[in-house]
Amino acid sequence: MPTSSRLISRRTFCQQIASAALLSACAPALKINPSHEQSSTRKRLRDLGIVVGSLPTGAWNAITDVPGVRVGHCTRMEGEGELQIGRGPIRTGVTVIMPGDDVFHENVTAGRFVLNGNGEMTGVGRIDQAGLLASPIFLTDTSNLGRVMNGALTWFLQTYPEIGDTKPVPVPVVAETWGAFLHDAEGRHLDDEHVLAALANAKSGPVAEGVVGGGVGMVCYDFKGGIGTSSRVLPPSHGGYTFGVLVQANFGSREQLTINGVPVGKEISDLQPQDGRKSKSIIVIGATDAPMIPAQLQRLCKRMALGLARTGARSSHSSGDLLLFFSTGIKIRPDDDYTNIQIFNDEWISRAHHAAGEAAEEAVLNALCMAETTVGINGNTAYALPLQRLPKLMKKYHH
C-alpha cells in the first residue's frame, strides 16, 4: 500500500522503526513549543453551562488543585501534507505530572488498576510491590515511550547526582497511547530536550488541555481528544480533601459518547475521521492530598473507571486503559527506618469514590471540549466536538 494512504498498526510500527530512526537522525532541527497556546474559541464543559456530578470543584478544576501537584507540557506540531517517514508531519508531545517537589527523596503512596491491558506504563513494579511512587509521571504517544523514558532518566541523573553511587537508578513512570492517525509515528520525533522542556514548564494553576503535550495526536469518540483534567473537593466534615484527575483520552466510538445521559455521539454523526478511524486507549492519573494507603488508592482507580463509563467508555479488547492514583498526604523517605502515618478513614471512603468518579468523567469531557480540529499526516483530520450544538442537544433531552 502506498505510504501516502496507509494507517499503520503497532505491529507494523515495530517492524519499520529501525529504518525510521536513521531518517529521523538526518531530519533538520525543529522547534519546541513547551506549552502550546490554547484556542480562545474552545470552552471547558462548565463554561458551556453543563455540570457533571454534585461535588464542588477546586479553584482550577484541575489535578493541580491538589497541593504540590504540578503539570507541564511540551508540544510538537510541525509540518503538513503527505507522510514522509522520519520527517513528518509531526503531531506529538509529552505531558508530565509532578507529584511534589522531591518525589525521589519523598516517595508518595500509589495504587493502580488495569481496566484493559493492551498498553504500557513503565516503572509500575515498585508501585505493585511497595505501593510507592518515586517518579514524575510522563504521558506520550506509543512510538516515543522509550525516548521519553530516556529523557526522564537524563533528568533524574542531572537532578540527583547520587544516583548510581549511593542511590539506586529509578525506573521512570511513562505511559502511552497510540497516535499514528495524525502523527509520523515511525519517525518518533521526541528527544531528551523535549522531556526536559516539559519538566521545566511544570507548574501549578490552570492546566492546558486538548491538543497539547502527550495528547496532540489523540482521538476520542471519533472527535479530537487529548489532555483533560478536573477536580472535586470533599466537605470539611470529611476532611476537605481534594481529588484531581488528568486523562490522555484516545478511546471510544462516536455512537458511545454520552454527556449527562444525553446520547451526544448518536446525535452528532457527522464530522467523522477518515476511514471510520477508531481509537481505543486512555491513561487516567489521579491525585489526592487525603492520606491514603495503596489499597485505598487502587479502589479509587476502579471508581475512576466508572467515571469513564458514564461518558460511554466500553474498554474494548484491544484497548489500553491504564489507571494510577497517588496520594501526597503520605510521604515516605526511603532512608528512614520507620514512618508514622495517619490514614484516611474508610468510613468516609465512599465520598472519595464519588469524587474520583466525577473528576474522571469531567476530565474526559474537558479534553473533548478543549481540543481543536487537527489535521495530520496525509490530510487525516480529527474534528473538534462542535460546542455550539451542545446546548440545543442538552435541552432536547431536558437537561
8 A C-beta contact, residue 314 and residue 353: no
What confidence tens digit (pLDDT) does each residue in 70-123 have? 999 999 999 999 999 999 999 999 999 999 999 999 999 999 999 999 999 999
Q: What are phi and psi of 175, to 5 degrees?
A: -120, 155
**Where is 303: in which H helix or E strand?**
helix 294-310
Domains of the chain: 31-390 (3.60.70.12)
Residues 6+ apart with CB under 8 A from 254: 221, 222, 223, 265, 266, 268, 269, 272
**Where is 298: in which H helix or E strand?**
helix 294-310
Question: What per-residue confidence (pLDDT) applies to 37?
Answer: 59
Q: Could you tell me which of 187, 252, 228 has the C-alpha nearest to residue 95?
A: 228
DSSP codes joined into one string, 56-80: PP-SSSSGGGSTT-EEEEEEEEE--
Lowest mean pLDDT across 201-205, 337-341, 370-374: 337-341
pLDDT band at residue 12 using 50, 70 and 90 as cut-offs: very low
* More confident: 86 or 277: 86
Question: What per-residue confidence (pLDDT) applies to 28?
Answer: 35
**Does residue 17 carry a pLDDT above 60?**
no
Q: Could you tell me which of 36, 12, 64 has the C-alpha nearest to residue 214?
A: 36
Instruction: Say how far apart CA 74 and CA 330 lie, in whole Å.
Output: 29
Q: How many CA atoms lie within 13 A of 159 on its CB side?
A: 18
Instruction: Say how far apart CA 179 and CA 340 lie, in whole Å.
Output: 44
What confidence tens digit (pLDDT) does each residue in 37-68 have? 566 689 999 999 999 999 999 999 999 999 99
DSSP codes joined into one string, 154-198: HHHHHH-TTBTTTBPPP--EEEEE--TTTS-GGG----HHHHHHH
Question: What per-residue confidence (pLDDT) applies to 146?
Answer: 97
Instruction: Say how far apart CA 275 and CA 198 lie, in whole Å.
Output: 33
Radius of gyration of the chain measured on its C-alpha atoms: 20
Question: What per-residue confidence (pLDDT) applies to 275?
Answer: 72
**Does residue 198 carry a pLDDT above 60?**
yes
First to last CA, the chain: 48
Question: What per-residue confidence (pLDDT) applies to 280?
Answer: 78
Question: What per-residue confidence (pLDDT) applies to 279?
Answer: 64
Question: What per-residue confidence (pLDDT) applies to 33?
Answer: 52
Q: What are phi and psi of 9, to 5 degrees?
A: -95, 170
8 A C-beta contact, residue 108 and residue 326: yes
Question: What per-residue confidence (pLDDT) applies to 277?
Answer: 60
What does the chain come to in residues? 399
What confidence tens digit (pLDDT) does each residue in 287-344 have? 999 999 999 999 999 999 999 999 999 998 989 999 999 999 999 999 899 989 999 9
**Does residue 3 carry a pLDDT above 90?**
no
Catalytic site positions: 281, 319, 321
Question: Residue 338: exposed, middle, or buried by beta-carbon count in 10 A (0-12, 13-18, 19+)?
Answer: exposed
Q: What is the pTM of this model?
A: 0.91
Question: What per-residue confidence (pLDDT) applies to 8?
Answer: 52
Distance of CA 301 to the CA centre of its chain: 14
Alpha-carbon distances, residue 377 vs 45, 81, 180, 371, 395 (angstroms) = 29, 6, 9, 18, 37
Instruction: Say how far apart CA 242 and CA 55 lie, in whole Å.
Output: 11
Lowest mean pLDDT across 147-156, 216-225, 339-348: 339-348
What confidence tens digit (pLDDT) does each residue in 233-249 have? 999 999 999 999 999 99
Lowest mean pLDDT across 89-98, 149-158, 335-344, 379-388: 335-344
Instruction: Say how far apart CA 124 and CA 340 lie, in whole Å.
Output: 24
Instruction: Say how far apart CA 12 and CA 6 lie, in whole Å.
Output: 11
